[in-house]
Amino acid sequence: MTLLSVRNLRVTFPTRQGTFEAVRGVSFDLGRERLGVVGESGSGKSMTGRAILGLVRPPGRVTADRMELDGQSILNLPERRMRRIRGRRISMVMQDPKFSLNPVMTVGDQIMEAYRLHAGGAKHAARDKALEMLRAVQIRDPERVMAAYPHEVSGGMGQRIMIAMMLAPDPEILIADEPTSALDVSVRTEVLNIMDRLVRDRGMGLIFISHDLNLVAQFCDRVLIMYAGRIVETLAAKDLHQARHPYTQGLLNSLPRLDAPQDRLPVLQRQDAWREGDTITQSLDTEFPGGL
Q: Which does 41 bind (CB under 5 to 8 A by kind): Mg ion, ligand ATP, none?
A: ligand ATP
Contact yes or no for 22/12 (Cβ under 8 A) = yes
Q: Which does 289 bind (CB under 5 to 8 A by kind): Mg ion, ligand ATP, none?
A: none
Count, residues near Mg ion per rule CB under 5 A = 2
Q: Minimum Å distance from CB 146 to ligand ATP?
A: 30
Q: Which of 28, 40, 39, 38 is CA-nearest to residue 4?
A: 28
Q: Residue 22 and residue 36: Cα distance in Å, rounded?
A: 19
Q: Determine the interface stretch with ligand ATP among 26-34, 43-51, 66-74, 118-126 (rule: CB under 6 A).
A: 43-51
Q: Determine the interface stretch with ligand ATP among 37-45, 74-82, 102-110, 249-257 (rule: CB under 6 A).
A: 37-45
46 binds Mg ion (CB under 5 A): yes
Q: Residue 186 and residue 163: Cα distance in Å, rounded?
A: 16
* CB neighbour list of residue 122: distance below 8 Å, 6 or more residues apart: none
Applying CB under 6 A, which of residues 2, 7, 8, 60 lies at the interface with ligand ATP? 60
Q: Determine the interface stretch with Mg ion among 15-23, 94-102, 155-163, 256-264 (rule: CB under 5 A).
A: 94-102
99 binds ligand ATP (CB under 6 A): no
Alpha helices in the chain (DSSP H): 45-52, 79-85, 97-100, 107-119, 123-136, 142-146, 155-167, 185-202, 213-219, 246-253
43 binds ligand ATP (CB under 6 A): yes
Q: Which does 13 bind (CB under 5 to 8 A by kind): ligand ATP, Mg ion, none?
A: ligand ATP
19 binds ligand ATP (CB under 6 A): no
* CB neighbour list of residue 118: distance below 8 Å, 6 or more residues apart: 87, 88, 168, 169, 170
Contact yes or no for 128/143 (Cβ under 8 A) = no
Applying CB under 6 A, which of residues 13, 89, 117, 156 lies at the interface with ligand ATP? 13
Q: Minimum Å distance from CB 142 to Mg ion?
A: 29
What is the rounded end-to-end Cα distance, in angstroms, of the chain? 16
41 binds ligand ATP (CB under 6 A): yes
279 binds Mg ion (CB under 5 A): no
- CA of 220: how far to CAs of 112, 151, 216, in Å? 30, 32, 5
248 binds Mg ion (CB under 5 A): no
- Phi, psi (degrees; rounded to nearest 5) at 235: -160, 165
Site residues (vs ligand ATP, CB under 6 A): 13, 20, 22, 39, 41-47, 60, 95
Site residues (vs Mg ion, CB under 5 A): 46, 95
